[in-house]
Structures are given as C-alpha cells and as structure tokens.
Structure 1
Amino acid sequence: MLKKTPVILIIFSLILISSAQAYPITISDNFGSEVIIVEPPQRIVSLSPCNTEILFAVGAGDQVVGGTTYDTYPPDAVNLSKIGGFSTVDIEAVVNLTPDLVLAEYGNGEETVNALMNLNLTVVSLNPKTLDDILDNILLVGKITGNDESSILLTTDMKQKIENIGAQTKDIPDSNKPTVLYIVWHDPMYAAGTGSYPNDLLTIAGGMNIVGEEGWPIIDLEQIIDRNPEIIICSGMGGGSYTIMEAITENEVLSTVDAVKNNKVYPISDPNVMELAGPRIVEGLTELYGYIEPEIESNATVIATEDQTNVSQSPDFSILFAISIVLLMAYLQKRRI
C-alpha cells in the first residue's frame, strides 16, 4: 500500500545526487517505454494538470512552457501557453512550442502519445494507479528534470504525513472501521475500487471500501443498498462533488442507506486534492481522515456500550456464588433431616 523508505537510504541518496547529475540518462516510463533524456529539459510541455503540479513542485516550473486549459495550480500554471484540453490535445500547438520534453498521461490517449512520438519528440508517459505510483512518479519527474534532491525531500515529507495518519489507524480493529463508498460520478455511478489510489487513501484513513472490484467500476443502486456504506464520499471535478451528493441524497431508493440516513454524505470541496495524482494528494488524505475518524470513534463507543450491556445483563459471579451457597446449604439441611 505504501512502501517505506529507511531514513539512512534517503540520506545516502541525497549524498549521491549532491553533485550535478550526468546526462544522458535512460528511464522507463509508466507505459514501459525506454526513453533517453539527452540533457536537462529546458522546454517542457505538460499534457495534464497533475503532471504540471508535479513539475512545479519538484522545482522545474521555470522550464514548463505549455500546459492544458485545465491547469490552474499552482497559480503560475494559469499563464502557460495552452495546448488544448486533457483529452483533446492540439498536436500542432505542442509542436509549435518546440519542446525538448513532453510529459504525457494515460488519459491523453494512446493515439495522441504515438502521434507525438512519431514526430520525434521526447515523450515520457505517466499512468499512476496507486499511492506508491504517485510517489514514484514524483521521483521520476525529479530525476528527468535534474531535480532529484527536491523530489526526494518532497516525497519524504509526503510519506511522513501519510505515516502520521496511518499510525492513528493501523491498529484499529475492522469492527470499528466505517464502511465507505467513494464516488467520482453518478450517471452512471463510477466508484473507486481496489488498486486505485483513493482506495489506498481510504484504507490509510481508517475506512473500509465497500467496492471490492478492481479499478473504477460502475456500481448500481442495488449494490449500494446491499453493502450499506456508513459514509459516502463524493468527488467530482468542476463542481461535480455537489452534483453527485445531490444525486445520492435526493434519491428515494437510497434513503435507507446508513450514510444517507445519518447525513454522512460528504462532498470534496476541492476534488483536485483527491483526483489529481500529485503532491497535494496528502491534503486529500487529511480531508478523508477528518470525515472517517469521528465515525471510528462512534463505532468504538457503540461496541463498548454493547459489550457493557452484555456484561450487565449476565449474572454477576458473586450472585451466582451466593446462589450456589444457598442451594448447598439447603441440600445439607435436607440431608440432616
């Protein structure tokens, strides 16, 4: 779920990269393609908002010359030359920016990536699926852009924040953990399943994902009713979180679901911290923990109360002992008679 890096290894890594990194370097991207980076990139075009966030976060922001129309963070990304949308990349616009590195993503589409590669552009493609993938990609981008040290420090800080929350939840018994449904759209209803980074975040935050299917499956109303989540998280881009929440809470069919009955349907106010596979994912984890932790406490209280009730309803040992003595005395008295 989250690979731990020993502190000594981090220190050793920083020592190794304290001198200037030698180019060319050869890396393997998330598509399994071997890519040669001849020299430190000076003109980078990013084809997704999360790639842009990573580039700026590791210290390569000054080298980024182009991004998508959805790039809004950090604020400087708004001023980048635009190359179209996430899934509607304008190939000509990319070429006109004369990039020495194009940082692509799975959602751009294989056709787009292949078209750019066929134009002899250096393309590195990312496709993070888990929390570990996100951390690895930050390190990869740091390596490619000559920002190894800052990327290691960034991911070390992220891991510490993740582990701080994980330490609060790792020993909680499953019986105390609330069941959670994480939805990214409502028509049809797409949910985060196993093997996705929201699933990793839910687990670390102390929740139990009701969706056992892999990836991002479609889940129907009957499944929700049957699995009866105690918490529902709604996370959709462009204000979609609140649209999803309304679709859930206003659906009479779902009125019997615990999360709906108990007003535990939560919209993520800024889905970018959850949906973009970049450094701000730890902010999303913190928000999730804020929703899940009170339910953990509530479940623990209910279970403790039930246990106490069961004890109080059971005959006390001292009472049983007294009854036994009375019965014994009666038996002995009868024998004497």
Structure 2
Amino acid sequence: MKFLEKKWLAPLAISLLLVGCNSEEPAKNDDTETTENAGASEEAGPYTVVDDRGVEVTFEQVPEKIVSLQPSNTEILFELGVGEQIIGATEFDTYPEEALEIERISDSMTINTERVIELQPDVVFAYTVGEETHIEQLENAGLKVFVIKTAATIDDVYGDIEQIAEVLNVEEKADEIVSGIEEQIAAVQEKTASLDVKEKVYFEISPSPDIWSVGSGTFQQELIEAAGVENIYADQQSWFAVSEEDLITRNPEAIITTVNYSEDPKGEILAREGWSNITAVQNEEVYELNADILDRPGPRIGEAIELIASAIYPEIFN
C-alpha cells in the first residue's frame, strides 16, 4: 500500500497507505510483457502493456501528458527523464524539487477526479489500494489508467521502473536505472559482508503512545536485510503494534525511526519511561532517518539501504 509522508495522517494509516508491502495483497503481477511490441518507435501504431491488475492497457501513441497518484511513481518518472510531462500529482510528491511545481490533484485520502478529467492526461499512473472507485470514474471518462501495485520487494521496485518505462517507451533508461541501483546495493553489501555479527535493530514507524514497527513481508524489512542489519521483529508479519514490555525484553542494540511529524523523535525515544535499560538507549544509538527515502519504494532504494547501513555501521563507511 502507500507511505507518502507521515505528517498528514495518523501513523498507522500512513504505514498502511504510503509505503506499500502488505503481505496479504495478491502477488505482484509478473507478466509485465507487452502483448504487442510496446512503442517500437515513437511513431509506431497501437501497443499494449499489462498493468498490475492484469489489465491490458492499449496506447495509440506514447503518452505525453501524465498524472501520477503516488510519490514513488513520480520519483520513477523523474528518474526516467519524463518528469516534465507530469501535469498532476499528489500533495506529497516532494522529490525531486521540481515535483513541487506540479499541480496537486490528490491529498492523502481523495483524488480530485473532476480535475484529473479536465486535465485530459494521456495516462494516469494509479495504485491498487483504496482507489477502485476513482479508477473506475477515470476509466469511464475515457482516460487510460495504468495501475502499479505498491512494491513489496526490491525486485518489485525494479519491475515498477520497467513497467512505467515500457508505457513511456524509455526502456533503455530503465535498464540504466536498475543497473545503477543494483551497483549501489552491491557496494553496501560488499562493505557489510566483512561483519562477523549483524547488529540487532528496532525499526519504529509510529511513536509513543501508539508504537508501531515492521516485520517480515514489508518493504522496510527488505531494506533492513539488504543493509546487513537484523530486525529484532523479523519474526512478526507486516506492520504491527509494539508491546513495550516485549521490546524491552528483546533489547535492541540500535533503534531507527522514520517518524517525521514530531518535533524531536530521537529525544522522545531516549526519554521514554522504562526504556533506560535498553542497550540502544544507554548507548544513544538512536537514528532518525529520512522517511521519504526509506518509506518510498522508488529509485532511491539504494540510497535507503546505504542510509541504514552507514547509520548502524559508521566505522565501515568512513
């Protein structure tokens, strides 16, 4: 589902809507091949690309005007070099800086379908959770809607980049981007491979009093593992409410927080009653990392993995 920015919703809703990776969702469609040769040339006739609903979306020509309904897809579009073609985005599309200039046609919960229809985009990149009614309205108005299920894995991110590139006839650029991410991740893992023991880390996505963390089946778990770190809650599934008593018993050696809507997330954690015996708190190994980078399954995932690894293992990155 989608993690946009946590300041606009209650933390749990953010976890479920903005970062994507619900293990209960159906598996991401692997059949991303075109049923016809997608955009053999910019002058080519109709071509068809399959979206993550399994729907074949046919384009008469390569789309020029784009609406993006998810920040991670907006980042992908800019990375593919077609960001200037985006004419509508969500109010949480904050990266790159140029994205701030795009007209806002969606807030955290709703899409201004009337405005989207008025803009007459050639394609709307939507996502799979909570937008069924909007998708139907847009399609009934004759718009091309291409649905991208929010990535649950690193490989899913590569697939998203490739699908979007296929729609826009920039497949070679997608190959470059994926290769660059793979190299970035490999460079991190080359450093962490020398570690004898992985540090035990607690990853917080929502603060006290309603504390939530991430377990297996989440996008964040993929990043944590790729960074050479051990999630103390890898035995849990999806997003879940944390028992403080259980967390204290598990005694993490470091804490990562992506909470970005309180004044001092790190200070709040260090000052929590009853947490003073936790090793991470005693050693002040609490790290506030950029939520937009860690929570968005887009082209910055290599950077996200490096952020985690360099925070936990600064000695091997200096």
Q: Calculate the TM-score normalised by the size of structure 1.
A: 0.75
8 Å CA contact 1:185, 1:191 repeated in 2: yes
Tell me if 1:279 matches 2:315: no
1:181 equivalent among 162, 178, 202: 202
Quick one: structure 1 residues 111 and 221, their matched pair in 2 at CA, closer, same or farther if it must change by over 3 Å? Answer: farther
Per-residue deviation, 1:244: 3.7
> In the alignment, what sits opposite 1:138?
161
The structure carrying a bigger helix percent of its residues is 1
> In the alignment, what sits opposite 1:159?
182
Per-residue deviation, 1:44: 0.6
* 1:62-77 correspondence runs (5 A): 62-77=84-99
Structure 1 residue identity aligned to 2:164: V
2:285 equivalent among 253, 264, 269: 264
> In the alignment, what sits opposite 1:122?
144
8 Å CA contact 1:86, 1:107 repeated in 2: no
2:266 equivalent among 238, 245, 248: 245
- Out of 51-60 and 24-33, give the one that drifted further: 24-33
Structure 1 residue identity aligned to 2:250: R
Quick one: structure 1 residues 121 and 52, their matched pair in 2 at CA, closer, same or farther if it must change by over 3 Å? Answer: same
Task: Name the count of aligned residue pairs.
Answer: 277
Quick one: structure 1 residues 243 and 133, their matched pair in 2 at CA, closer, same or farther if it must change by over 3 Å? Answer: farther
8 Å CA contact 1:225, 1:257 repeated in 2: yes
Please give the alpha-carbon distance, in whole angstroms, between the structure 2 residues aligned to 1:241 and 1:279.
27
Tell me if 1:42 matches 2:64: yes
Q: Deviations over 1:225-279 (max 9, x none)?
A: 122111111003xx337654344222112222111111011101x3211112111
Please give the alpha-carbon distance, in whole angstroms, between the structure 2 residues aligned to 1:160 and 1:170.
15
* 1:1-337 correspondence runs (5 A): 20=41, 22-107=44-129, 109-126=131-148, 127-170=150-193, 172-173=195-196, 176-186=197-207, 187-211=209-233, 212-236=235-259, 239-240=260-261, 243-268=264-289, 270-294=290-314
Structure 1 residue identity aligned to 2:89: G
**Higher-Rg member (1/2):** 1
Structure 1 residue identity aligned to 2:272: N
Structure 2 residue identity aligned to 1:177: K
Structure 2 residue identity aligned to 1:47: L
Please give the alpha-carbon distance, in whole angstroms, between the structure 1 residues aligned to 2:115 and 2:68.
12
Please give the alpha-carbon distance, in whole angstroms, between the structure 2 residues aligned to 1:195 and 1:60.
31
Structure 2 residue identity aligned to 1:180: V
CA RMSD of aligned residues (A): 2.5
Quick one: structure 1 residues 185 and 244, their matched pair in 2 at CA, closer, same or farther if it must change by over 3 Å? Answer: farther
State, as a whole percentage, how many aligned pairs show the same letter: 31
Quick one: structure 1 residues 69 and 213, their matched pair in 2 at CA, closer, same or farther if it must change by over 3 Å? Answer: same
Per-residue deviation, 1:294: 4.3
Please give the alpha-carbon distance, in whole angstroms, between the structure 2 residues aligned to 1:32 and 1:256.
51
